[in-house]
Amino acid sequence: MLDVTRWESGFVLLINQHTGRRTRLWGRPVLAPNGTHFVAFNSDMEAGYSPNGLEVWSLESGIPMLRWNRVVNTWGQRRCAG
């Protein structure tokens, strides 16, 4: 997992250690207790350089698969309990 920071934006990059496959997330992943899903979110209400919203991912044989996402422009989450 790499935390990529740009001048006024950023994202998280997951890199599969066996295949090199890269998956870009809006923010740091929070893993479900059973390890089969995770969420990632970002809040950029002021600058607007990054997506503001929530993503839900599943892990299938170790490969992240995006299941749902929502861009929200009226509010932004600050944290997520794992």
The burial class, CB within 10 Å (0-12 / 13-18 / 19+), for 23 is: middle
Count CB atoms within 10 A of the CB of residue 26: 22
Residue 34: the pLDDT is: 94
> Contact at 8 Å (CB) between 67 and 79?
no
Query: Is the pTM above the cut of 0.85?
Result: no
> How do the pLDDT tens digits run along the chain, 82 residues long?
888 887 777 889 999 999 999 999 999 999 999 999 999 988 765 666 677 889 999 998 889 999 999 988 776 666 565 5
pLDDT at 3: 84
